[in-house]
Amino acid sequence: SLFLQTVHACTRAVYLGNNDHIITARSMDWKVDVGTNLWIMPSGIERDSNAGPKSLKWKSKYGSVIATGYDISTTDGMNEAGLVANVLWLVESQYPDTKKSNKPQLSISAWAQYVLDNFSTVAEAVKTLEKEPFDLITDNVPGEQRLTTLHLSISDKTGDSAIIEYIGGKQVIHHNKKYQVMTNSPTFDQQLALNTYWQQIGGTVMLPGTNRAADRFARASFYINAIPKNDNPKDAIASVFSVIRNASVPYGLNTAEEPNISSTRWRTVSDHKQQLYFFESAVSPNVFG
């Protein structure tokens, strides 16, 4: 199956630069190597999320470059229209009960790919997702006895953003250009409330320094807006890389009870305007773009 379930914990931040220069960065944090490779996914391909007899099927409208999890699921990517999708771990996620539903079903590990294949902007994606055309289904993490629980962030070349979560079995969409940062627990509305506290203190006075998701959220939120709005694209990319590195977890540091506090395995930076996708592994000094 192309779209088996995997697990993610990380940080995602969107830079809103000068001259419509939009850049999205994310880190992948997990306790083991997730076997990531980069793939080019062409347009015009018939898709099946392999979710069983009611599996959702579609034909890809847009080509994309993606980073995989265990080389069998889409964890991160950007399509040819400049839309970026990222899935991150959210332990509070609860997905719909599908026993009485006749909707087609989408495997959670195909969630990001479905968005990349079908939409060119955040607004377009949100318009469709609000109609809830499918039931999102999950399964156990490979080799573990717990369910895969994720939330999804999307951003586009206009700087628009949306965060999609499933809380108490219901889809919740947060759609606004100001939603530049997402990490893991707690749910996004609570992350925003916590971040408001740190904004009142001011990042130049004090920022939380632990590896916990709420602290990474506060640091990324401050720095992604504090870095200079560089007119030079290379400088802007370098600045954004420095922000996502600042929110990374030291290699080799893992907390078994809290997978969202685990080593950063890799980082990506997506330049929406220039259509550039950069990949940096924690175990390699090179950045692949």
> Which residues are marked as active site?
10
* Angstrom distances, CA of residue 220 to CA of 133, 137, 230, 257: 33, 30, 18, 24
Nearest alpha-carbon partner for 96 in 139, 146, 135, 150: 135
Cβ–Cβ < 8 Å for 129, 152: no
Q: Amino acid identity, residue 212?
A: R
Report d(CA 88, CA 12) in Å as an integer. Answer: 9
* Angstrom distances, CA of residue 284 to CA of 40, 121, 277: 21, 33, 17
86-106 exposure pattern, b = at least 16 Cβ within 10 A, e = fewer = bbbbbbbbebbebeeeeeebb
Cβ–Cβ < 8 Å for 26, 9: no
Report d(CA 102, CA 181) in Å as an integer. Answer: 35
Q: Is 150 left (phi over 0), alpha (psi -120 to 50) or beta?
A: beta
Report d(CA 184, CA 197) in Å as an integer. Answer: 18
CA 255 to the chain's CA centroid: 21
